[in-house]
Amino acid sequence: MQSLTVCEAPAPAADGTVPGSTGAARQRTLANPISCTGIGLHSGMKVRLSLLPAPAGHGIAFRRSDLPGAPVIPALYDRVVDTRLSTVLGDATDPAIRVATVEHVMAALSGNGIDNALLDIDGPEMPILDGSAAEFDFLICCAGRVEQDAPRRRIEILRPVRVEGEDGAFAELRPAKHGMLLAFSIDFAATAIGRQAHVMPLTEQRFRHEVANCRTFVERRDIEALKKMGLARGGSLENAIVVEEDRILNPGGLRRSGEFVRHKMMDAIGDLYLAGHRLQARFIGHKSGHCLNNRLLRAVLADSANWRLSASHTPASVLRVAA
């Protein structure tokens, strides 16, 4: 028998621990299919996306319904084929089989604790929608969720692993007693962005209220180069913050303070969900992006001494309604 979970969960303590944890949590999928249409940020192509329920043990996967045979690409870190400006999943043997800009919907799936779903897409890139994860979060809430008759697993990090990039950038995972705690910082020369930091345990409510509606951003001076590279064709002030030194060019300004670092944290939540399960870990990122996030997962998961699959526990106070 399946049961429905309500869209509320208790806030964890500052160290990310969840009070009142009891028995093993069960996997979740969507209660109903749900669809949307939109354009790809980089391709500019109009696409239709359907989020579909999937059986226990399925995980998250993308299906290119427009291609012959409707190939399925698992949402896994070792299927990442490009991280220049978005995270792109693909098939290394066939460059036509790819799905770009998966990080925002992956973040929304992680934030909502969806373990199993099939994402059917009729083009090469996810719709950018408003440039944040808020509309994916809304779709998942509208679809509803069901618990499944299988225990949920987490990837528990057993020892610190760190990868480093240029100009002091790094991404690191450390062991944690429960759940996931994220700390992210950025440092941009553009004074409209500057130095920002955000710390947050990954719970559904904190995800929804602190990072989900924070939009992607670009510096105006980079737009021309991106378009020459064939990227950002679908970009506009409707789906990205555009910055020029100390100015925000969007007429409405920012949605909240720290929107830039919060967006980068949301990206990291999505990228890290490509581990195949949610993590039990502390994540620390400084000027990290899709490339470093993926390098971190590859470094961690390459050595079985770094991690193990553990049972996930459900908070006692999460309400359940029998279906």
Close Cβ partners of 140 (under 8 Å, ≥ 6 residues apart): 30, 34, 51, 108, 109, 112, 114
Active-site position among 198, 277, 286, 290: 290
Known catalytic residue at 290: yes
Which residue number, 239 or 312, has a Cβ lying nearer to Zn ion? 239
Please identify, among the stretches 18-26, 60-68, 150-158, 263-271, the one whose residues bind Zn ion according to the rule CB under 5 A.
263-271
CA torsion sign for 124, 130, 133, 137 is: negative
**Closest separation between CB of residue 36 and Zn ion, Å?**
17
| Binding mask of the shown chain, residues 196 to 225, with x at each position contacting Zn ion by CB under 5 A | --------------------x---------
Please identify, among the stretches 21-29, 220-228, 259-267, 272-280, the one whose residues bind Zn ion according to the rule CB under 5 A.
259-267
263 is in an annotated binding site: yes
Confirm if 9 and 315 have CB atoms less than 8 A apart. yes
**267 near Zn ion, rule: CB under 5 A:** yes
| Binding mask of the shown chain, residues 268 to 297, with x at each position contacting Zn ion by CB under 5 A | ------------------------------
**Closest separation between CB of residue 263 and Zn ion, Å?**
6
- Where helices occur in 231-322 by DSSP H, the ranges are 259-272, 290-301
Please identify, among the stretches 122-130, 228-236, 260-268, 309-317, the one whose residues bind Zn ion according to the rule CB under 5 A.
260-268
287 phi, psi to nearest 5 deg: 55, 30
Q: Is 34 left (phi over 0), alpha (psi -120 to 50) or beta?
A: beta
Confirm if 187 and 194 have CB atoms less than 8 A apart. yes
Measured in residues, the chain has a length of 323
**Closest separation between CB of residue 270 and Zn ion, Å?**
8
CA–CA distance, 297 with 282 (Å, rounded to integer): 13
CA torsion sign for 101, 102, 103, 104 is: positive
| Binding mask of the shown chain, residues 89 to 108, with x at each position contacting Zn ion by CB under 5 A | --------------------
Active site residues: 290
Residues near Zn ion, by CB under 5 A: 216, 267
Q: Annotated binding residues for Zn(2+), as ranges?
A: 104, 263, 267
